[in-house]
Structure 1
Amino acid sequence: MTTVDDLRRAPNALAAHYRRFRVADRLLLSGHSHQAWPDVALEGQVEAFEDAARHVDDKWEHAFARAEEVREGYRRLLGDPDAEIALAASTHDLVIRFLSGLDLAARPRLVTTDGEFHTLRRQLARLAEEGVEVVRVRTDPVDTLAARLAEAVDDGTSAVLVSAVLFATSRIVPGLDALAAACQRRGVELLVDVYHALGVLPVRLSEWGLETAWVTGGGYKYLQLGEGNCFLRLPGHADRMRPVVTGWFAEFAALADGERPDLVPYGRGAARFAGATYDPTSHYRAARVFRFFANHGLTPPFLREVSLHQVDLLARRFDQLDLPEEVVTRDRATPRECFGGFLALRSPHAGELRAGLAERGVHTDSRGEHLRFGPAPYLCDAQLEAAMDALGDVVRARTFGQRGFG
């Protein structure tokens, strides 16, 4: 079984399984945004083509079997073996269906934070333009965020929408269990985005107190599933909702309403959040990657152990650089276990630093004033150290050379 030491040394024990992404030859520190795919992912894509060629229109029973494998993969990651899981190409597709099922006429208030990913940020901003009341609670201080979200809920609130791990800073949001309880008391829906948690945090919905919450996320980041593999986990009361945005696949298991035959019928559970005809290639790919993770013992507890080691190494190496605080710094007051799977450095020049690193072959990204280093299990310690050392080179070259910052 793979150990952390196996991944620390060069060559990394997993790197040989990612030859097509050349992870051993490149400094890919954008793992919080897009991790490399193992080579078996290509086998899944080829299998999708071969099933289509062999079975033509009868391919769908094979495609649906792969979709069920993907649902099972997410159930394991959520620690919810009986979960109703709806799938879609993006979290936006699923969030739109969720929002369309809320009674915004009666309860026109949505509560969220000012630190959500673009899926929520943009869509909620557009709804606000149409008259929906959108309340954005400041993320800082994160330790009280859940409590402040609960305080913002009133009888006119339809839903609270929040991330379990903030995508810009990597901070884990504590107290979601109390927020869920507050929402349940008020009859308010709670949607929790776990995109930046799955694959670097062991997620157990029962332990997190989120049994009554809607939970969304996907596999494009830490799970290495690639695009097109997002999910919405439905709570037990989901059958009360009739999403306005609904695809014809939702009719497969639909039951007519005997009392209101004039209404559009829905199936039960995840079926009522189904879309329409889709490209199943992503599910074939994801099924292969889920198997790969299982075969190599890449369980959530082990991946958390790897992540903590890698992010801690990056943080210590950064501190050793002793760079000017006004140029780039990090949060040293918060314990490492309060963060997710990447190191967020704060700098007014984050974009310039990212560009300078790219010139040196180091792939990172920046969001506003945050420069993000996202490691992955297939990187060895020497690669992480080299990537951070490159940051020192960029800062010193631009601070003390002819071209300064800004």
Structure 2
Amino acid sequence: MTRLPDPAALAAHYSRFAVAERLLLTGHSHQAWPDVAREGQVQAYDDAALAVDTKWERAFAKAEAVRSGVRALLGEADADVALGASTHELLVRLLSALDLQARPRLVTTDGEFHSARRQLDRLGEAGVEVVTVPAAPVTDLADRLAAQLDDRTAAVVVSSVMYETAHLVPGLDALARRAERHGVELVVDAYHHLGVAPLDLAETGLTGAWVLGGGYKYLQLGEGNCFLRVPGHAEGLRPLVTGWYAESGDLQPDPTDTSADTPAVAYARGAAAFAGASYDPTSHYRAAAVLDFFADQGLTPPVLRGVSLHQRGLLAAAVDDLDLPEDVLTRDRETPAAGFAGFLSLRSPYAARLSRGLAERGVHADSRGEHLRLGPAPYLRDDQLLAAVAALGEAALALH
């Protein structure tokens, strides 16, 4: 049995966020940063002050530490990883590398986060055929997506965890096989997966997938720490949206080749072809410090999964004990606990009002449409979670 960390002892490392005194059920959105994150930001300033424009060698070492952290989370020691400030930035570069003239069709779900949803909607307005499959029920979502793939499809974009409901999407391995047969790129948004549930690409059959994610939520890395895991078969893709960092290193084609049919714009190989340009390296300093902290505290994917299952289970049981009418507040009680990721999604026509009622009672949570989301985190004690649910009961009674 996995030994879970003591949340009270862990909370001592988050003194500036005062997690021991606050009811921060924002674990699915913005987790608190450990104190070492601030030390990382200060180090970024000090390196700039010391080295000025030659700071980049130090900054690139921090970027490589972030890539190493991503590789560990994906269970893939040699994963080829591009970094970016946002998943949207990386998704746009990826989409711009696809031949949407030869394959003018994209497949996705109506449960994708806004960074993908809005961009795909806009591409649809511009003439790309975008097929949107209902995300519910999640049990056969992968099969329904697979049924939409054909030789005109450039890519299928799907989350491994639905951001409104916390449902883990089963069957992505079968979707990956169908995508490979049709030459379709499978793009998996794992933002709500990493840091709360293990995701080993080999074990889940996703070695051929593009994987998007970031550190703003469960990983506690803060803004500016997003990544794109690039599959091996992507060699030779040339993003139309490109930054000058993508011409560093071993270039393809060889820029000394002046034959008439050689493209003038050369790209680095692998994930480096999806690089951007000059950026604020402070985010990577902060992330490197937090990744080291997680390692020191033994916050591995299996441990974090154990914490999540315990905390989400405690919240769910406490909500059930409120015995609220289902037309006020209910939840999915059919899916087993293992079918959810890191937060508890409660369905209510009053979700926004309940979120405001919680805020008035000192509980930080949020809502998305009819879904009220309660996101625990490893530094929260059980009594804090129970206090938050008690506040939810008060907010529900105050609705009428």
- Short-chain TM bin: over 0.9
In structure 1, list runs of 5 or more residues that go unmatched.
399-403
- 1:397 shift after superposition: 2.0
| Paired residues for 1:62-101 under 5 Å | 62-101=58-97
The answer (yes or no) to whether the contact 2:28–2:217 under 8 Å persists in 1 is: yes
Give CA-to-partner distance per residue, 1:313-346, whole Å, 9 cap, x none.
0000000010111011101111011000000000
User: Contact 2:236 / 2:269 at 8 angstroms: preserved in 1?
Assistant: no
Which residue does 1:285 correspond to in 2?
286
User: How many Å separate the matches in 1 of 2:264 and 2:78?
Assistant: 29
Distance 1:154 1:256, change over 3 A: closer
Q: For structure 1, which segment, 370-379 or 389-398, has the greater mean C-alpha deviation from structure 2 after superposition?
A: 389-398
From 15, 19, 40, the counterpart of 1:19: 15
| Amino-acid identity (%) | 66
DSSP 3-state at the match of 1:327: coil
In 2, the alpha carbon distance for the partners of 1:203 and 1:332 equals 24
* Distance in 1, Cα, partners of 2:387 & 2:97: 49
Deviation at 1:84, TM superposition (A): 0.5
**Shift in CA distance, 262/147, structure 1 to aligned 2, threshold 3 Å:** closer
Which of 196, 199, 219 lines up with 2:192 in the alignment?
A: 196
Provide Cα deviations, 1:47-106, integer angstroms capped at 9, x if missing partner.
000000000010000000000000000000000100110000000000000000011011
Letter in 1 for 2:226: C
- Residue identity matched to 1:4: L
Q: Please state how far the C-alpha of 1:134 moved relative to its aligned partner.
A: 0.5
Amino acid at match of 1:151: A
The residue identity in structure 1 corresponding to 2:124 is A
1:237: how far off? Answer: 1.0
Post-superposition CA distance 1:7-63 (Å, at most 9, x none)? 3xxxx1200000000101100001100100000000000000000000001000000
Aligned to 1:300: 301
Q: Which residue of 2 aligns with 1:264?
A: 265
1:3-152 aligned at under 5 Å gives the runs 3-4=3-4, 6-7=6-7, 12-152=8-148
CA RMSD after TM alignment: 1.0
The corresponding residue for 2:378 is 377
Q: What is the TM-score normalised by the length of structure 2?
A: 0.97
Structure 1 runs of 4+ with >6 Å offset: none
Aligned residues: 394
Unaligned residue ranges in structure 2 (runs of 5+): none
CA distance in 1, matches of 2:150, 2:302: 37
Cα deviation, residue 247, structure 1: 0.1
1:355 aligned residue: 356
TM-score (norm 1): 0.96
Q: Is 1:339–2:335 an aligned residue pair?
A: no
Per mean C-alpha deviation after superposition, the further-off stretch among 233-242 and 358-367 is: 233-242
1:241 is matched with 237
Q: Are 1:207 and 2:208 an aligned pair?
A: no
2:387 alignment counterpart: 386
Match of 1:157 in 2: 153
One-letter amino acid of the structure 2 residue matched with residue 149 of structure 1 = L
**Amino acid of the structure 2 residue aligned with 1:113:** T
Match of 1:180 among 176, 182, 185: 176
Once residues 225 and 249 of structure 1 are traced to their aligned partners in structure 2, the CA distance between those partners, rounded to angstroms, is 23
Taking the aligned partners of 1:262 and 1:296, their CA distance within structure 2 comes to: 49
Cα pair distance change 1:83/1:201, threshold 3 Å: same
2:6 is matched by which residue type in structure 1? D
Q: Which residue of 1 aligns with 2:324?
A: 323
Cα displacement (A) at 1:378: 0.2
1:354: how far off?
Answer: 0.2
Q: Distance in 2 between matches of 1:126 and 1:39?
A: 40
> Could you tell me how far 1:140 is from its partner in structure 2?
1.3
1:14 match: secondary structure: helix
* Equivalent residue number for residue 167 of structure 2: 171
Q: Matched residue of 1:178: which SS?
A: helix
The residue type paired with residue 385 of structure 2 is: L
- Which residue of 2 is the match for residue 401 of structure 1? none
C-alpha distance in structure 1 between counterparts of 2:263 and 2:229, whole Å: 29
Letter of the 2:278 counterpart: T
